Structure 1
Amino acid sequence: MGARTRARGRPGPARHAAPDRDRQHLPRGRDGHGRRPAGDGVRQAVPRLAAAVLHRPDRPRAHMIARLQTIVSRELDPRTPAVVTSGTFHAGLKENIIPDRAEFTLNIRTFEPEVRDQVLSAVRRIVSGEAAVSGAPEPLVEEIYAFPSCHNDPAQAARVEAALRAELGEGNVSVSEPVMGSEDFGHLAEAIGVPSVFWMFGGFDLTPGEEAPVNHSPHFGPVMEPTLTTGTRAAAAGILSYLGTEPRG
């Protein structure tokens, strides 16, 4: 059987708790023309000194991004998995016009709730602090969405693993390490308060040293077979390990 017929998973945390995606929006600075980044103070009424400074939202944002990258490296235990990624930044439309606002998004990934709270607290502290030292208004922080942790119940994971090994063969099932990818499957078990098991299976024929495209890549396109059959067999084996196959009277 090729790589695409393999299934893998693990007991305990399987996928990270979130992403918590927080959008930091500096609501208002002062806009102006690129020729006078310090502002046109000579045209302002008293107090002239204060009016002469444009609050450029791109400047504190740049400091925020640099400082946010120190949360994982400087504020968390080195053995604690966490990710803080700045994925987007939008400010201004033209090179000679200073914008009055800037917006960026963060992707935050953790396994444990207490680590999530620590990271979110650090994000808000850094964003607010960098805006204050830059003389910018207090930023608006909005949560876009969040996912719970996708946790494999150890006892149930062992049961499903045995069923998958019996169905697919010992050499085609492996136990993997937790991954930082998110999965909304965690909502299902949490909503009804039951244990759950999540596993993955391959979908590519790879040559040695070749890496499969990730699922957000435009090149992601699993081969149809035996991927579809393997997934169906794995799902049926997991279900039947609970339902049984004996006919009911």
Structure 2
Amino acid sequence: MHSTPENAPMGLAATALALATAHESAATHHLYQDLHRHPELSGAEYRTASRVAAALRAEGAEVTERVGGTGVVGVLSNGPGRTVLVRADMDALPVTEDSGLPYASTVDGVMHACGHDAHTAMLVGTAQALARGRRHWSGTVVFVAQPAEETGEGALAMRNDGLHERFPLPDVLLAQHVSAGPIGLVAHVEGPVLAASASIDIVVHGRGGHGSRPDTTTDPIVIGAAIVSRLQSIVAREIAPSSTAVVTVGRFHAGTANNVIPSTAELGLTVRSTSRELQDEIIAAVRRIVRAECEAGGATTKPAICIVKSMPVTVNDAQVARHVADIHTRMFGSTHIIDPGPAMGSEDFSELALTPDGNAIPYHYWFLPSTPMPVWEAAPGQSPMARFANVPSAHSPNFAPDPAVLDHGVAAMTGAVLAELTRP
């Protein structure tokens, strides 16, 4: 690292802002709009990956494609020092867009409803800012464009494909995510920031028959209804009030006619909590309740209980979180830094933090509120939390981040990378 005054904390903040301001903002915005028009579902991010790879190569990064499927890794080396990994997710959702944007999705039934197009564009913008400001830093930055975050498969696939063996092992991992909330803020949380989650499919096996003769059947709908009701007692009666957990039944399918009692009923659950231990406890309770209600309802065939998708808890390293929040405070001002506490959404980012020998790499994951101010100010509610509930959020067909978040995100990530590169 060059011994210039910009190495001081305030100087480093000014340097980060200068590098971010000097990057080609128009190119970042063009890439974002292009990706938004052409969203790709999890595991099929071929066009997106190609655009990212070409953009990283143009900045002098050593690029490898098809890591863990469609993943892209770009390594920007600039002398001795620490290694920082920057990650963005690329996949879209099976959502029909209703945002009214002039660059709305052109793919029927697919939309970037979670802002991954913004994350990808900000990753490329950060690479450009750092590549063109090499004289201000020393070390290595690994840019990771990850597929299949929405399905919880992409991070693990990249790790299993040798992410940490084939490329420089990072000292720290960084990621950011756009969210609902007034544009211009940066939301930092120390410790748990996102919940562990599990999607559970359940099949209740009964005995079907005529609706006029329920006594000759074992009704799986009645058993399923009892399961739905009883599951609500897990959080209410088995989890300490100081803990945070959610059990939601989002799907209940059974039957084909009003006068026919079906032979099966299918339920779909999501289970979320803020620790792996708590998650295991809740899933065990789900299994216990489902089996007990089936037995109580007279089912002679055991229910099928299958975890079809799971994501680990995301726990920010406190020291890294404070360090990144400090540089952002110096860059944007203390009034723009908030701590909203943990959210119950889930991510697979923390899967990237495990090394081949089982050690954990420290990481920090923060949010960039991105609701346009006119939308925020027009939202009903007297408090920020009330307004937060009344503006389009991620996974909504109306989710439309303010494009200004792109430059804000490039600046935020550039500052975080420079701050982490200068740590001992």
Query: Does the pair score TM above 0.5?
Result: yes
CA apart distance, 1:191: 5.2
Which deviates more from structure 2 when the two are superposed, residues 72-81 or residues 185-194? 185-194
CA apart distance, 1:239: 0.8
Q: Note closer, same or farther for the CA distance 1:191–1:218 as it changes in structure 2 (3 Å cut).
A: farther
What is the TM-score with the length of structure 1 in the denominator? 0.86
Distance (whole Å) between structure 2 residues aligned to residue 144 and residue 235 of structure 1: 33
Q: Quote the residue 1:21 is aligned against.
A: 199
Q: Which residue of 214, 229, 250 maps to 1:37?
A: 214
Q: Quote the residue 1:109 is aligned against.
A: 272
Question: Is 2:184 the partner of 1:5?
Answer: yes
CA apart distance, 1:212: 2.3
Secondary structure of the equivalent of 1:180? coil
Secondary structure of the equivalent of 1:151? strand
Q: Which residue of 213, 216, 222 maps to 2:392?
A: 213
- Superposed CA RMSD in Å reads 1.6
Given residue 166 of structure 1, which amino acid in structure 2 is its aligned partner?
Answer: R
Q: Which residue of 294, 299, 302 maps to 1:131?
A: 294
Distance (whole Å) between structure 2 residues aligned to residue 242 and residue 111 of structure 1: 27
CA apart distance, 1:232: 1.2
Q: Which residue of 350, 353, 361 maps to 1:194?
A: 361
Distance (whole Å) between structure 2 residues aligned to residue 142 and residue 3 of structure 1: 39
Equivalent pairs counted in the alignment come to 226
Q: Quote the residue 2:257 is aligned against.
A: 94
Percent of residue pairs bearing the same amino acid type: 35
Secondary structure of the equivalent of 1:198? strand
CA apart distance, 1:172: 0.9
Of structures 1 and 2, the one with the larger relative CO (CA 8 A, separation 6+) is: 1
Distance (whole Å) between structure 2 residues aligned to residue 110 and residue 190 of structure 1: 21
Given residue 84 of structure 1, which amino acid in structure 2 is its aligned partner?
Answer: V
CA apart distance, 1:230: 0.8
Q: Note closer, same or farther for the CA distance 1:203–1:102 as it changes in structure 2 (3 Å cut).
A: same
Secondary structure of the equivalent of 1:216? coil
CA apart distance, 1:242: 1.8
Q: Quote the residue 1:223 is aligned against.
A: 402
Distance (whole Å) between structure 1 residues aligned to residue 237 and residue 322 of structure 2: 37
Higher CA-based Rg: 1
Listed as ranges, the gaps of 5+ residues in structure 1 are: 39-52, 245-249
Given residue 219 of structure 1, which amino acid in structure 2 is its aligned partner?
Answer: N
Secondary structure of the equivalent of 2:236? helix
Q: Which residue of 413, 420, 423 maps to 1:235?
A: 413
Q: Quote the residue 1:42 is aligned against.
A: none
Q: Quote the residue 2:321 is aligned against.
A: 157
